[in-house]
Amino acid sequence: MAVCEICGDLPATVTCRTCGRAVCGLDRVGDLCGACAEAICAVCGTRLSIAVCALCGRPVCRSCGERRGLARICAACIGVHAMRHAR
């Protein structure tokens, strides 16, 4: 039986949807492995993040963030800002 590729200890029960690693139940988050879950976009929860939001520090993917100079801001923070500016 395959062994979890993250902890190398427990038998693997699922395959990560994103990276294809076989992981055990403890290293599984939804249909992702623990490593990918940490790198997944915090806004859509489906795509891998490419940057960290400069305001809230959460990982964001290409489509859920907007570039602001050198930084990237997530859609949630853009929404908060838009509300603050709208009167």
- Among 28, 40, 59, 77, the residue binding Zn ion under the rule CB under 5 A is 77
Contact between 2 and Zn ion per CB under 5 A:
no
> Cα 59 from chain centroid?
6
Measured from the CB atom, the residue of 7 and 71 that comes closer to Zn ion is 7
- CA-based radius of gyration for the chain: 16
Binding residues among 6-65 for Zn ion as defined by CB under 5 A: 6-7, 10, 16, 18-19, 21, 24, 27, 33, 36, 41, 43-44, 47, 53, 55-56, 61, 64
